[in-house]
Structure 1
Amino acid sequence: MDGYSLLYSSTHRTELLGRFQRLRSDGKMCDVVLETDGASFPCHRALLASSSDYFWALFGEATAERLARSIRLPALTSKGLDAILDFLYSGWLRVSPATLPDILEAARYLQVDTAVAICERYITDGLSVENCCSYANLAEHHALPDVLDAANYTIAAEMANLVQERRDELLGLNVQSLMAVLDADEIPAVKEVDLVKLALDWLNDNGPLPPLQSNLLLSRLRFGLVAPSDLAHLGHAHRAMATPLIRSLVTRAQEYHGTGSAGPIRQNKQSTLRAPPDRVLLVGGGPGPDRPEQQVLTFNLKTRKFTSLTSCLPLKLRNHCVCSLGGFLFVVGGEVVSEADEKPVTVETSNQVWRYDPRFECWQKVEPMLQRRAKFACCAMEDAIYAIGGQNADSNVTAALASVEFYDMAAGAWRRCAPMPGPLHGHACAVLDHDIYVSGGLSGNGIIIPGQSQSSKEVLCWDGMGGAWKKRAPMSIGRFSHRLATAQGYIYALLGMYEPFCEIERYDPREDQWTRLRPLLAATFNYGMAATPSGSLVVFGGTKWSNAREVAVKSVLEYDPKKDQWREIAQLPKPLTGTECTILPMPD
């Protein structure tokens, strides 16, 4: 058999459609006329059947229309049919926001799947605050699930603008979209009470709905995010709120508000903020180690922008600790710095504990620690907060502590647990696999001397199951006032004060081994540090030596553990040292 070549012409199909289009324009060889809206469209039966499943079935051998000279399509508009016919004859679809509903109706009715896909892409690429509600209704009407999901996501993201400027469009939203939006975990800059009012207004405009459907809608609201005073009013705002299911949800929300200290461990979806855990809180700190301020900054990991909380830290603190648990911020211990006109600055070691609730932007003083602590380590593990070691100034005598205590959330009380083998201050801690690791610090009551290796290399591990402290492999460098962080199954130790090297190191709990990594970009200390959900480490500000003086810096550095690489990603609004950091979901 002789060989042959198979060649393809990319222009043949285009030329073929072009010739059909000319035949249609000239009215030649047309064997069927489509009619709608008083308009007639002469067409070619063969091209229609080969381009549309609807026409393929319509012109089949067993149908009455297979030989009909004209066919009426009253379900379609002339604009929609004309656009689809142009597409079938040319491959080009002319779409605008005004013609989209007619075109999509025609494409769905005539089963021209390629045109439907083009309309879907047109909608998703053009979603905005101006059209997301109308496009959601269009997608729901035509059963386009991917488009509907994209439109619902845009509605949730733009809800703050929609509630203020386009409320009527929200009230005209289809019920499936409204339920999907109210089920969203992220609705920026909108208070839950405003979502409740929106849902009740929607029911007034679109109801009455059967109790089952209104329950499905209202149960997606998070009543635990509504203040108790508003809950009492909303309970009588609409008859849909009087169903047994919704009454029970409101009652549970009221009970949650009364849980007191147990609030963080009794969280559920109804009381969880609609915000991602992408905010770093920078609590306290100031332009110098002895000049702390009461500001609390938030750093958005996505936009890399700083904002200030409207509610300030109740006290000026230094050498304090912070942690987050159950969506709440806890500020623990430290030294209270007091200053007044014409009076010297006074410092007092504190055992106070403050809790910040981002849902209602308020601070609450909770049960104090059993001991006053500064330069200690603090972490949250499971349902408790642990305070480990530190210093306590009593009667002008500074004593290092070996004691450990934990905050029992359910009971609202601090309780003692097994002390460390010896006293420590200036140490750091991190949680990994339900164990607490403590590294470095000073064992005595003295002050570290620059250039002398007095700080400890030792690493201790608190076995929560066994209730005992055990030694682990020591760090390669003695560290004091340093940082520990957990990321991607490892523990990272970062630079402390007066260290001869800038290296960081990583601990592998499986091998019980430390590995030195790339150093920081600059030898800073007294900085804030947070481990992000993506696994990177971010360092905020700190102090460096310049011309024999300690100078606060503005740099924000990020460490990528996968690449072992540092880079500067932002600048603080002003130099900052002595701040403490934690990750917390925060409303915009």
Structure 2
Amino acid sequence: MDSYSLLYSSSHRTGLLSGFQRLRSDRKMCDVVLETDGVSFPCHRALLASSSEYFWALFGDTTAERLAGSISLPALTPEGLDVILDFLYSGWLSVSPATLPDALEAARYLQVEKAVSICERFITDGLCAENCCCYANLAERHALLDALDSANYTITMEMGTLLQESRDDLLGLNIQSLMAVLDADEIPGVKEVELIKLALDWLEENGPIPLLKSNLLLSHLRFGLVAPSDLNSLSHAHRAMATPLIRCQLNRALEYHKMGSTQPIRQSRQSTLRASPNCVLLVGGESSLDRPEQQMLMFDLRSRKFSSLSSTIPLRLRNHCVCSVGGFLFVIGGDEVKEGDEDGKKSVFVETSNQVWRYDPRFDCWQQVKSMLERRAQFTCCVVEDVIYAIGGRRTQADTDIYNSVASVEFYDMATGAWRKGAAMAQPLHGHACAVLDNSIYVSGGAPGNRGSIRSSNQGDNQDANRESSKEVLSWDLKGKVWEKRASMSIARFGHRLATAHGYIYALLGMYEPFCDIERYDSQSDHWTRLKPLLTGSFSYGMVSMPSGSLLVFGGRRWREGQEVIVKSVLEYDTKKDRWREICQLPRPLTGTECTLLALPE
């Protein structure tokens, strides 16, 4: 068999198209004329049939048009047809926002799918607040699913701007896009009442709409995010609000507002904020070691930016605990720092608190709920199946700076709005840490000492606590009535943190040397493994475990040249790669802050 070579010339195809384009420009050898709106386009039947499914079928063996010298295309505009013919003859699609609708209409009608794909990419790449509504309508009309999803997402993210500057564009939006937007879990900077008014204005502008469709549209709204007074006024704003389905949803929202302490465990989509559930909330802390702050900071991991909440903590606290349940923030216990006057001189005194405050980010309001049975500071808390557990801690004696540690455990029953006693630990403990793994509570470290001075405990130089710091680890599966011992950590820790990630428990840092060390606990083997230490350790920091498994550490204190300094660093620990990195800095130095994940309106 003779050998041979198969060679390809990329310039041949280009030259072929260029030749056809010259013939078309010179109107030579054209065997068919396309006409629309009085404009004629001489073309070549063979090129059209080979480039378009529409023309392939039109010029088939059994059609009446196969020999026709002129084909009328009244559905297309001359501008759109011209753009698509240029594409068929050259491979270049000349499109702009002004010509896009005509070009896309022609490409769809003539079944030139490559041109349709280019138009879809043009839509996706050029989306912004000014064109997203127009492009959403265009994508919906031509079934461009990817472009439609992108346009709907842009509308969702730009809703705040659109409501202020382009409301008419929103009122002209197709109903599928509007429903997709109202179904979104995150709509930054927009209150639900504004979305309700938009939906009602849309119904008024595009009516009459069948009740089935209006019900479907309005059912995507979250009436639980609207204050009762506004719900009452909105219920009479449009006849669509009077249907049995929507009336039922309004009544459920009003019932939700009356649930009191049970609200966190009665959450539904109707009462869930349209916001990222992974915002980190920093509650309290100190920029100096003499005055706790009442400020709360929100940290957006995506932008790595901080913003201050307008609302502040009702009390000036240190050594408190925070947690989130059902989209609510709970601030629990701690040392309340109060100011007073003695003989005309300002004085500061500290009192351990058992108060519990609940913050509702939906309406930016605080409510004091049932207080704990015990006063607690330097304790730990956790949430298991929507139940808050407060474990151990210490409390100051009346009119003294002497504290007693406690071994008691209590939990908050939200169904009744009361705290109840749980299984107490074998000995008093404070400065410990806890984490939840597989619905079991793990407690590690801390100081078992029963008495001490609160002054030294707060300043971080309590040598007694240092000597007494424990390595022990306890677990409680909530079904049993006693705490069980687990494998001890490799080093004693006090004022440290525990976190759960990827099925393991991590013990991080601490108040005393060595406060750079990290170790990981495997509950299956009941074994601790030492990991790579942080080069520069810190203590009294805030920490939160992200859904990705990474751990974020905010601020804290560290030793520098023999002095304690408060730092601004925000560190991320990659638990899979055992690696630390600084991702940004706090707006100001901060120590003693407590962190939790909470959905917050922007």
Q: Same fold (TM over 0.5)?
A: yes
Question: What is the TM-score with the length of structure 2 in the denominator?
Answer: 0.96
2:394 equivalent to 1:380: no
What SS does the aligned partner of 1:11 have?
helix
What SS does the aligned partner of 2:298 have?
strand
2:384 equivalent to 1:398: no
Question: How far apart in 1 are the matches of 2:512 and 2:466?
Answer: 9
**What amino acid maps onto 1:252 in structure 2?**
R
Equivalent residue for 2:514? 500
What SS does the aligned partner of 1:82 have?
helix
Equivalent residue for 1:234? 234
State whether residues 437 and 462 of structure 1, in contact with CA within 8 Å, keep that contact through their aligned partners in structure 2: yes
State whether residues 289 and 318 of structure 1, in contact with CA within 8 Å, keep that contact through their aligned partners in structure 2: no
Equivalent residue for 1:316? 316
Question: How far apart in 2 are the matches of 1:320 and 1:125?
Answer: 48
**What amino acid maps onto 2:550 in structure 1?**
S
How far residue 340 of structure 1 moved from its aligned partner, in angstroms, is: 4.0
State whether residues 449 and 465 of structure 2, in contact with CA within 8 Å, keep that contact through their aligned partners in structure 1: no
- The correspondence for 1:415, drawn from 415, 420, 425, is 420
Q: Kindly report which structure 2 residues correspond to 1:177-576, keeping only aligned pairs within 5 A, or say none.
A: 177-340=177-340, 342-395=345-398, 396=400, 397-447=402-452, 448-449=462-463, 453-576=467-590
What SS does the aligned partner of 2:468 have?
coil
Question: How far apart in 2 are the matches of 1:363 and 1:452?
Answer: 37
**What amino acid maps onto 1:269 in structure 2?**
R
2:101 equivalent to 1:101: yes
**What amino acid maps onto 1:424 in structure 2?**
L
| Cα distance change on mapping 1:450 and 1:503 into 2, 3 Å | farther
Deviation per CA, 1:531-584: give whole Å up to 9, x if none.
112111111111112343322111111111121111111111111111111111
**What amino acid maps onto 2:36 in structure 1?**
T
Deviation per CA, 1:255-277: give whole Å up to 9, x if none.
01111011011000000011112
What SS does the aligned partner of 2:162 have?
helix
Deviation per CA, 1:438-489: give whole Å up to 9, x if none.
0000111245418954200000111123343111111111000111111111
How far residue 90 of structure 1 moved from its aligned partner, in angstroms, is: 0.3
Deviation per CA, 1:238-266: give whole Å up to 9, x if none.
00000000000000001011110110110
2:60 equivalent to 1:60: yes
**What amino acid maps onto 2:373 in structure 1?**
L
| Cα distance change on mapping 1:451 and 1:194 into 2, 3 Å | closer
State whether residues 406 and 450 of structure 2, in contact with CA within 8 Å, keep that contact through their aligned partners in structure 1: no
Moved more, 560-569 or 213-222: 560-569
Deviation per CA, 1:157-179: give whole Å up to 9, x if none.
10010011100000000011000
What SS does the aligned partner of 1:312 have?
coil
State whether residues 404 and 451 of structure 2, in contact with CA within 8 Å, keep that contact through their aligned partners in structure 1: no
**What amino acid maps onto 1:392 in structure 2?**
R
State whether residues 462 and 469 of structure 1, in contact with CA within 8 Å, keep that contact through their aligned partners in structure 2: yes
Moved more, 284-293 or 255-264: 284-293
How far residue 288 of structure 1 moved from its aligned partner, in angstroms, is: 2.9
Question: How far apart in 1 are the matches of 2:244 and 2:535?
Answer: 60
Question: How far apart in 2 are the matches of 1:385 and 1:15?
Answer: 75
Equivalent residue for 1:583? 597
Deviation per CA, 1:318-369: give whole Å up to 9, x if none.
0100001111110000010012462221000000000111111111111100
**What amino acid maps onto 2:54 in structure 1?**
Y
Deviation per CA, 1:370-413: give whole Å up to 9, x if none.
11001101011102100000002233352111100000011100
Equivalent residue for 1:22? 22
What SS does the aligned partner of 2:351 have?
strand
Question: How far apart in 2 are the matches of 1:106 and 1:124?
Answer: 19
What SS does the aligned partner of 1:535 have?
coil
Equivalent residue for 1:152? 152
Question: How far apart in 1 are the matches of 2:466 and 2:159?
Answer: 58
Question: How far apart in 2 are the matches of 1:99 and 1:305?
Answer: 40
**What amino acid maps onto 1:430 in structure 2?**
A
Question: How far apart in 1 are the matches of 2:389 and 2:397?
Answer: 22
State whether residues 447 and 465 of structure 2, in contact with CA within 8 Å, keep that contact through their aligned partners in structure 1: no
State whether residues 451 and 498 of structure 1, in contact with CA within 8 Å, keep that contact through their aligned partners in structure 2: no
Root-mean-square deviation (CA), in Å? 1.2
Equivalent residue for 2:459? none
Question: How far apart in 2 are the matches of 1:491 and 1:213?
Answer: 50
Question: How far apart in 2 are the matches of 1:290 and 1:100?
Answer: 64
Question: How far apart in 2 are the matches of 1:277 and 1:439?
Answer: 28
State whether residues 515 and 538 of structure 2, in contact with CA within 8 Å, keep that contact through their aligned partners in structure 1: no
State whether residues 466 and 494 of structure 2, in contact with CA within 8 Å, keep that contact through their aligned partners in structure 1: no
What SS does the aligned partner of 1:177 have?
helix
Question: What is the TM-score with the length of structure 1 in the denominator?
Answer: 0.98
How far residue 501 of structure 1 moved from its aligned partner, in angstroms, is: 4.7
| Cα distance change on mapping 1:251 and 1:566 into 2, 3 Å | same
Question: How far apart in 1 are the matches of 2:542 and 2:475?
Answer: 23
Deviation per CA, 1:91-121: give whole Å up to 9, x if none.
0000000000000000000000000000000
User: How many pairs are equivalent?
Assistant: 588
